[in-house]
Amino acid sequence: MSGKSGESIIGAIEAGGTKFVCAVGSGPGEQLLARESFPTGDDPGALLDAVAGWFRKCEAEFGCIEGVGIASFGPVDLDTASPTWGYITSTPKLAWQYTDLVGGVRRRLGDLPIGFDTDVNGAALGERDWGAARGLDDFIYLTIGTGIGGGGMIGGRMMHGLLHPEMGHMVLPRIAGDDFAGVCPFHGGCWEGLCTGPAMNARAGAPAESLAADHPAWELETQYIAYALANIIYAVSPRRIIIGGSVRKAGRLGEERFFRMVREKVQGVLNGYLGSPALSTGIDDFIVPPLLGDDAGVCGAIALGQREL
């Protein structure tokens, strides 16, 4: 059985801290045959039962699911040689600590090929197959929302390494006069502690989307993001940086102005040091929003499943 495009049907799971977004299909747009959300809650077994039941229902309508892709919140174990590969590990969400996500899905759906990666690497892969990173072997995907995550590809391979990148916790210089302590339970004012949606809310006393376009929190937000992007550019040398997640929509400031501010501030931090046109005249194509929008994650899970087939 196969989807409209003639490609195999994948069961996709974008496992997030607040909800699991599931889909059945072979790609974005028309190739996404069905989708459903489930609250993450605090009972992994019950949630996986509900997801598996929904997949079975979809199979009756669209045909056999031939592979599964899971893009998960973490930390996760991505070491295929490890006995806990496919597990969510030391997450602060206690009910989900050391949950065997891949095994749990396999026990319910049978011995299917299952692709597994971080949520952010999943979204990166979706953008590479169908979105803003098409044709690129070196790029970074960031999500800035309730947390900050970063992933992507170097030399055509997903970034894994010892564990997986945790770019959200990088250390940034303090902007003079900013004494906000930050909200990261581990580091206080790391990037995530300063720039997530909840951090903006704690700093300004109101949700980011409600802040006026000229609220000083936006200046600080985009300046700290610019520091982080400059660090990433120096350390990894990506050909493009995609910024997804909810914060970049920027409420009353608007996504376009948010990106303009980030781009200008990145150029300010780099101060002309890197002589690539991509970072000067080409900056609008270098720092971009995701082309798949909010579907990047779930499409990425489809891409993970397809690679495993």
Binding site for Zn ion (CB under 5 A): 169, 184, 186-187, 190, 192
Name the residue nearer to Zn ion (CB basis): 152 or 193.
193
Residue that the structure tokens 């990173």 belong to:
133
Helix-strand-coil split of the chain, %, nearest 5: 40, 20, 40
Residue 125: strand, helix, or coil: helix
The minimum distance between CB 194 and Zn ion, in angstroms, equals 9
Handedness of CA 178, 179, 183, 187 (dihedral sign): positive
Residue 228: CA atoms inside 13 Å, Cβ hemisphere, count?
A: 32
Name the residue nearer to Zn ion (CB basis): 40 or 196.
196
Handedness of CA 95, 101, 106, 109 (dihedral sign): positive
Name the residue nearer to Zn ion (CB basis): 201 or 267.
201
The minimum distance between CB 199 and Zn ion, in angstroms, equals 10
**Cα separation, 23 vs 293, whole angstroms:** 16
Name the residue nearer to Zn ion (CB basis): 186 or 275.
186
The minimum distance between CB 183 and Zn ion, in angstroms, equals 9
The minimum distance between CB 193 and Zn ion, in angstroms, equals 5
The minimum distance between CB 26 and Zn ion, in angstroms, equals 37
* C-alpha gyration radius of the chain: 19
Residue that the structure tokens 């030399």 belong to:
155
The torsion defined by the Cα of 298, 44, 94 and 293, in degrees rounded to 10, comes to 10
| Backbone phi, psi, residue 143, to 5° | -120, 130
**Cα separation, 19 vs 57, whole angstroms:** 20
128: its two tokens: 């590479």
265: its two tokens: 């501030």
The minimum distance between CB 192 and Zn ion, in angstroms, equals 5
Name the residue nearer to Zn ion (CB basis): 47 or 194.
194
**Cα separation, 97 vs 76, whole angstroms:** 10
The minimum distance between CB 112 and Zn ion, in angstroms, equals 36
Query: Which residues make beta-bridge pairs with 288?
Result: 242
Name the residue nearer to Zn ion (CB basis): 184 or 242.
184
298 close to 21: Cβ distance less than 8 angstroms: yes
The minimum distance between CB 171 and Zn ion, in angstroms, equals 9
Name the residue nearer to Zn ion (CB basis): 28 or 149.
149
Name the residue nearer to Zn ion (CB basis): 186 or 272.
186
